[in-house]
Amino acid sequence: MANIAPSQSTISRPTIDPQRRAWGIMLLSFAVFCTICLVLVVGLTYFFFQSTVPLDGVLQVARGSAGITAQETVRTTSSVANNDVLSTDPLSQATVLLRDLEREKPLIASITLRGDTSVRLLRGLRPRFQWSNGEYTIELQGFRGELIIVSPKELAHHLNMSIITNAGDLIYVRSGGQYIVRASDSRVQVLNQDGDIILKPANVDVGRAVPANSQAVINYADNPGEVTVSVAYANLLSDVVFQDSLKEPNIVADPVAFIQPFKSDWFCKDNSVPKGFAIPQSIDGRSALRLLRADDATSHGETGCIRSWGEGQNVASFNYLSLRATFRINYQSLSACGQDGSECPFMLIVEYYNAVDDEPHAWIHGFYASVDPNRNFPLQCNSCLQLHEQINEKAWFTYDSGNLLNLMANPDQLAQQRPIAIIDVQFKASGHQYNVDVGDIVLLAGLDANP
């Protein structure tokens, strides 16, 4: 039988129209091109108009020392980076200055950590370019203690600052201004001196705005989800903040005439030879008053300002009276406060009447930066009730007297010696040569003895 060869089936492969293939490749290439263009446009738009870079952060220690994550104890100045945890002990004070390097380092925010304060700087960001439409973002977390926040009212970009306490409460700063925020295990307190700020309890969807010259409190023992807003302690010195009462910082030192630096409330003077000056300045993004005496002076001089009420400002009904001042000592030629302890480069004075007699009395407190160990000068003047305080040179410091009603009198005779009327409040620089910047002075009064 003859072998029959198996039949071989022919396999036909489908053919694609070359024209259709060309169109497919072209459409796919066009889709890839459009995708690349879209990604490129979105990326460039984000990079030029929305991307951010860290703010320049510097920590200045005004007294004692401060702690920064993974660094040794800071006693003068140090750089600060995002995600750093900052802290002070009960006797220390430090200030974080956040600046915009793109705009020649103007101040975005000054955040002062008072004693026994801890906070994490989670983020401090600025738009990458001047033309960007982003905002200044500052996020603080794990806050406990007391912060004093100062931010210029006119910024190149919108300010978005958030502060979250250990309990999860949110403090939201929406514009430049002056604020004091406090957080403890028992409450959160926000004082709005001049600005726009919101306090929102944890686990609550909507916060509450705190008007200017008002305070807001969350008391955990009463209702941790409720914000109570009330009028803040009155500033007896002025109806406006210190910066707004100064004239524009274009006044120059006149070798002949002493030019008044304030628009109202304060009167300044200098009787020194060579002359000293009180000059408005723009310093670290804020208006401040510089008290200056140079010319290699070797004689006593005083340059200062006074807020007077003539016959006196009645304070008999108040249970709380506190003097708060923000300043920095740039230079002093004398050691400490001079050989009599009465020539501090910065001094605060409150003159008052008490209920015992018709004679004026004075509470005096001084501050100094440098000490010559070879000169055993006293650290308290004869008429001072407390020792003068030493702070670091060239660093902003905020002094809070606490309740002056407890400082101006002998505890055994408090009811008789406590002030019933304030005659005047003074601040001055004294000594031979000095250079001091004053950023704020307030005299707070209230009915509640425990702010």
Is residue 151 very low, low, confident or very high in pLDDT (cuts 50, 70, 90)? very high
**Please, which residues have CB within 8 angstroms of residue 264's CB and are 6 or more apart in sequence?**
238, 245
Could you give the residue ranges of the DSSP H alpha helices within 139-260? 242-245
In the DSSP assignment, the letter for residue 14 is: P
In angstroms, the CA 298 to CA 338 distance is: 12
pLDDT, tens only, 348-369: 999 999 888 778 889 999 999 9
Task: Provide the pLDDT for residue 381.
Answer: 86
Residue 415, pLDDT score: 61
Same domain, 299 and 328: yes
CATH assignment of the domain containing 84: 2.60.120.1440
The pLDDT value recorded for residue 413 is 56
149 beta partners: 111, 179
The last residue of one of the domains, among 232, 253, 276, is 232
Q: pLDDT, tens digit, for every residue of 382-400?
A: 888 889 999 999 999 999 9
Question: Which residue's structure tokens are 């982003």?
Answer: 134
**295: pLDDT strictly greater than 80:** yes
Domain co-membership, 99 together with 181: yes
Backbone CA torsion sign across 84, 75, 89, 145:
negative
Q: Which two tokens stand for residue 85?
A: 């945890």
- Decide which of 174, 199, 232 is a domain's last residue: 232
pLDDT at 418: 80
Same domain, 154 and 179: yes
Q: What is the pLDDT of residues 172-217, one digit of tens each?
A: 999 999 999 999 999 999 999 989 999 999 989 999 999 999 999 9
Q: Does the structure show a pLDDT above 70 at 1?
A: no
Is 388 within the bounds of a domain?
yes
Looking up residue 375, the CATH number of its domain turns out to be 2.60.120.260
211 with 321, same domain: the answer is: no
Quickly state the pLDDT bin for 422 (edges 50, 70, 90).
Answer: very high
Q: Average model confidence (pLDDT) for the chain?
A: 88
Q: Given a cut of 60, is residue 17 above it in pLDDT?
A: yes
pLDDT reading at 8 higher than 90 = no
pLDDT in tens, 193-203: 989 999 999 98
316 and 398, same domain (yes or no): yes
Is 11 inside any structural domain? no
* CA neighbor of 404 nearest in space, from 449, 359, 343, 439: 449
Does any domain span residue 328? yes
Residues 197 and 308 in one domain: no
Task: Provide mean pLDDT across the span 129-154.
Answer: 90
| Same domain as 286, residue 215 | no
Residue 21 has pLDDT above 80, yes or no: no
User: Does residue 218 fall inside a structural domain?
Assistant: yes
pTM of the model: 0.86
Let me know whether 260 and 391 are in one domain. Answer: yes
The answer, yes or no, to whether residue 296 has pLDDT greater than 60, is yes
Does 268 lie in the same domain as 138?
A: no
Mean pLDDT of 152-170: 93
In a domain, 15, yes or no: no
Residue 41 falls inside a structural domain: no
> DSSP for 269-322?
EE--SS--EEEEEEETTEEEEEEEE-TT--S-EEEEEEEEEEEEEE-TT-SEEE
In a domain? residue 157: yes
- Is the same domain home to 321 and 401? yes
The domain total for the chain is: 2
Higher pLDDT, 21 or 281: 281
Regarding whether 342 and 281 lie in a shared domain, the answer is yes
Last residue of a domain, one of 197, 232, 267: 232
Q: What is the pLDDT of residue 87?
A: 96
Task: Specify the range with the lowest mean pLDDT, choosing from 5-19, 59-73, 218-232, 405-419.
Answer: 5-19
Q: Which of 5-9, 221-225, 427-431 has the lowest mean pLDDT?
A: 5-9
**Of 150-154, 301-305, 414-418, where does mean pLDDT reach its minimum?**
414-418
Give yes or no for a contact between 408 and 417, defined as CB atoms under 8 angstroms apart: yes
Q: Which helix (H) or strand (E) holds 26?
A: helix 18-45
pLDDT band, residue 441 (cuts 50/70/90): very high
User: What pLDDT is attached to residue 147?
Assistant: 97
In this prediction, residue 300 has a pLDDT band, given cuts at 50, 70 and 90, of: very high
Same domain, residue pair 222 and 269: no
414 versus 275: which is more confidently predicted? 275
pLDDT of residue 340: 87
Residue 170 structural domain: 52-232
**What pLDDT, on the 0 to 100 scale, is given for residue 447?**
86
For residue 147, is it within any domain?
yes
